[in-house]
Amino acid sequence: MPSGVTPFADDAVLRCEGLHRSLGQGEGQVHVLRGVSFAARRGEVYAMVGPSGCGKSTLLYLLGLLDVPDRGEIWIDGQLMPRDDDAARTAARGRHLGFVFQFHFLLLEFSALENVMLPMRKLGRWSLSEMQDRAHSLLTSVGLGAKTHRLGNQLSGGEQQRVAIARALANQPSILLADEPTGNLDVRNSAMVFDLLTGLARQNGQAIVVVTHNPELAARCDHTLPMRDGQFVT
């Protein structure tokens, strides 16, 4: 694939082409991703489904620029992501990407508000009071308006996950990646978190890729991407 030439001339905000990734060393090396290509448009929700160990998380880390593919390219907003320019990749993470991890991953010594403000502080687009207002309204929209000053370790699992969603949305990313965001939650909570995520993203015209094991939730998405053995199956 010649770099710089977009394979599809459409409005895809996130695109990847021919991604390969092997993990592990020597004997234990596993060819996890075996040529994944895919594109996501603004305002649409994509559910990635598949058995455990098929490579969903691995793909999401590549798309989130947290890891580098062995082969293949990623474009964000039509821009080819360089594979060895850490500064450019880091900047793109802050500007374009929001990530919700399988495990909430809050900074537990910080309050909910501070956790949500962290990405904004780095981006530097808003003043301190704007950041506080924004963090407050994001936490309100995930139903935590009354607990903004609780520390991370004073929140329940579901609450922490909702703070993580607010945090992922903080910089108004064009792409939201969520790795089993409801994996550790009960049915009621997972439905709520899922609706929140998709609702907010649709409102803001963000592309969402969400990994889930729950077929019911997957059915509510615009697209389903079934994966098996490191490839999308159709």
Ligand X SMILES: Nc1ncnc2c1ncn2[C@@H]1O[C@H](COP(=O)(O)OP(=O)(O)O)[C@@H](O)[C@H]1O
Burial of 102 (0-12, 13-18, 19+ CB in 10 A): middle
The pairing of strands 207-211 and 175-179 is: parallel
24 near ligand X, judged by CB under 6 A? yes
Number of residues that bind other proteins (CB under 8 A): 30
- Minimum gap (Å) between residue 62 Cβ and Mg ion: 13
Contacts 24+ apart (CB under 8 A), 182-190: 182/212, 182/214, 182/217, 183/102, 183/212, 183/213, 184/102, 184/103, 184/157, 185/157, 185/158, 185/161, 186/158, 189/158, 190/214, 190/217
Instruction: Please pick, from the candidates 1, 79, 103, 133, the single residue that binds other proteins as defined by CB under 8 A.
Output: 103
- Minimum gap (Å) between residue 23 Cβ and other proteins: 8
Q: Which is nearer to ligand X, 55 or 173 (CB)?
A: 55
91 near other proteins, judged by CB under 8 A? yes
DSSP code for 116:
H
87 near other proteins, judged by CB under 8 A? yes
DSSP code for 69:
-
- Minimum gap (Å) between residue 2 Cβ and other proteins: 26
Q: Which is nearer to ligand X, 65 or 112 (CB)?
A: 65
Contacts of residue 43, Cβ cutoff 8 Å, sequence gap at least 6 = 201, 202, 205, 206, 207
68 near ligand X, judged by CB under 6 A? no
21 near ligand X, judged by CB under 6 A? no
Q: Which is nearer to ligand X, 58 or 171 (CB)?
A: 58
CA distances 220 to 4, 136, 171, 173, 199, Å, are 34, 28, 26, 22, 11
The order of strands in the sheet holding 79-80 is 30-41, 12-23, 71-76, 79-80
| One character per residue 54-93, x = contact with Mg ion (rule: CB under 5 A) | ---x------------------------------------
Kindly identify the residues of this chain, within the stretch 26-55, that bind ligand X according to CB under 6 A. 28, 30, 32, 52-55
Look-up: residue for tokens 């058995």? 51
Q: Which is nearer to ligand X, 52 or 129 (CB)?
A: 52
Footprint of Mg ion (CB under 5 A): 57
Q: Which residues bind other proteins (CB under 8 A)?
A: 23, 52-53, 57-58, 61, 64, 66-68, 86-87, 90-91, 93-95, 99, 101-103, 105, 107, 118-119, 122-123, 167, 171, 179
Instruction: Kindly list the residues in this chain that would bind ligand X in the complex (CB under 6 A).
Output: 23-24, 28, 30, 32, 52-58
